[in-house]
Amino acid sequence: MQILAEQYFAIALIIVGLSHAVQPKLCLEFFSALDRTGFAGLIVALYSLPQGMFLLVVHNEWSWTPPVILTVA
């Protein structure tokens, strides 16, 4: 299950990184519009909370090693 989580997040981060690199102006406009709503923190939390919970559930080792420190960060 941990390998599945690693692959999922690797693919997701590559896609997000490429989208920011390929169309930086569009990403800036999106986040500017999000900021103007006044609910940016809530909206970002709604999208990132399930991913964070998924990471906590599939992380089967809780010793203070670099992977755990990255997960907590």
The pLDDT of residue 24 = 94
The pLDDT of residue 9 = 87
**Predicted confidence (pLDDT) per residue in 3-55, tens digit:** 888 888 899 889 999 999 999 999 999 989 999 998 998 988 898 898 888 88
pTM, whole model, 2 decimals? 0.62
Who has greater pLDDT, 43 or 72?
43
Cα gap 19→73, rounded to integer Å: 23
Beta strand extents in the chain (DSSP E only): none
Residues 68, 2 contacting (CB under 8 angstroms): no
Which tokens hold the place of 38? 């006044």
The pLDDT of residue 61 = 67
Q: Give the number of other Cβ atoms within 10 Å of residue 52's Cβ.
A: 11
